[in-house]
Structure 1
Amino acid sequence: MKPLLDLSVYLVLGPQDCPGQDPVGIAVAAAQNGATVVQLRDKTGSTKEQIELAERLMQALKPFNVPLIVNDRVDVALAVDADGVHVGQDDMTATKARELIGPDKLLGLSVSTQDELDTADIAACDYLGIGACFPTNSKDDAADVGMQNFAGLTAQSQLPVVGIGGISLANADQVIKAGADGVAVISAICGAPSAAEATRKLQEIVKSVKDLG
């Protein structure tokens, strides 16, 4: 059975996002304070290092019932029995990823353009990550979608949508108002003086906008 999916506050992190800090410590602080999904996105670690970190994250997040998604690396996800996988346009196709992970894991797909949305294998996916909503330094390859295009793509989506790219405490409300089910952040939590406080504030923002809607 698939884990329950609540995209409200979706933390993306890897060692590169947490200099001088343990990513697991940040993930736990976030999970304790309202993060609903954690994604491991490690573009530099060896396969062995990624598996070890993913195993630690799985153990740490289990008490909070917060699913762990692994970005791109289906092999790492399978090795630790992670809750799901997230693929981008340059990664393995969603169709192939679904074949490999089976029916009981979560699968997310990044989308930035109308063409990518039109050609997405929606049946294989559980949610879409659409963006970049705002300019971002966290992802070198993030397409700048902008909020107007984001709202247009989100309105067409048959799946839940998490906004990605450049989202902060200052603009998270705009993403939810534009139709997203949640916000995916890196530096808004990993780069904050207190990961716990930043997560709590993000959760409050998301909830308050949803309650109004």
Structure 2
Amino acid sequence: MSHASLPRLVLLTDRAQLRLGRDLVRTLRECAHAGLRAVVLREPDLVGEPFEALVREAAAIPGLALLLSRRTHPLAAGTHLAAHQPAPTHGWWGRSCHAVPEVRAAAAEGASWATLSPWGATLSKAGYGPPVGRDGLADVPLPVLALGGITTPEDAAGALASGAHGVAVMGAVMRAADPARMVASLLTALPADVPATTGGAA
């Protein structure tokens, strides 16, 4: 994957938010079928073989690029780092940011993308305070994904109008009765993606 192929919609997982009885891998398959092209696999409580099994299953989903939150893995296309984590020396990676100056700092470190949150009012990112300021976002030198409070196509369109490359979502999809339908709905407001290359570090 490259800067140019960063999808306009990226899903962050949290299986605890899924409706009772919903399986995460099945949900990811359905979302990929609906047009999702990249997922940040979080699930920080999973370690050892349960985590490895999840990575293997997620990495095998056709057309879906796997990014890992805070961790590297040979089956992942890249890594999404927390704000405090040191920048890696190689690979395709992004960073969680909570202000436009942090996005600029991530670009200077060599990040390939950044999330900016909380973009809007959200249950998932409530601990990060009020929505972020966006002044100067259109001029940052890397793709930015608006994260937090993106629940409708209108929200996604508004993020692009404010200078975001695309959107990152978690709760709106994870908590949905039909996650794939929510993905398809959000994609109606976003430009078409270049098909993602799955598997392997860039």
Q: What band does the TM-score fall into relative to the shorter chain?
A: 0.7 to 0.9
- Please report how far the alpha carbon of residue 30 of structure 1 lies from its aligned counterpart in structure 2 after TM superposition: 1.1
> Cα distance, 1:87 vs. partner?
0.5
TM-score where L is the length of structure 2: 0.83
Task: Spell out, residue by residue over 1:102-150, the C-alpha distance to the aligned partner (whole angstroms, 9 max, x if none).
Answer: 3xx421111112442343353521111111101222246535333xx13
Gaps of 5+ in 1: 209-213
Q: Is the 8 A contact 2:115 2:145 kept in 1?
A: yes
Aligned position for 1:85? 79
Q: Percent identity?
A: 22
- State how far apart, in whole Å, the 2-side matches of 1:29 and 1:172 are: 21
Equivalent residue number for residue 70 of structure 1: 68
Q: What RMSD in Å do the two structures reach over aligned CA positions?
A: 2.3
Name the residue aligned to 1:156. Answer: 139
> In structure 1, how many angstroms separate the alpha carbons of the residues matched to 2:57 and 2:79?
17
| Other-structure match for 1:165 | 148
Aligned length: 190
Secondary structure at the aligned position of 1:110 is classed as: strand
The one of 124, 128, 137 aligned to 2:110: 124
Q: Which residue of 1 aligns with 2:196?
A: none
**Alignment partner, residue 110 of structure 1:** 96
State the 4+ residue runs in structure 1 displaced beyond 6 angstroms: none
Q: What is the distance in 1 between the residues matched to 2:123 and 2:136?
A: 23
Quick one: distance in 2 between partners of 1:176 and 1:141? 24
Partner-residue secondary structure (3-state), 1:193: coil
Alignment partners' CA distance in 2, 1:153 and 1:130:
13
Q: Secondary structure at the match of 1:162?
A: strand
User: Runs of 5+ in structure 2 lacking a partner?
Assistant: 193-202
Q: Which has the larger helix fraction?
A: 1
Retained in 1: the 8 A contact 2:103–2:114?
no
Contact 1:9 1:37 in 2 (8 A): yes
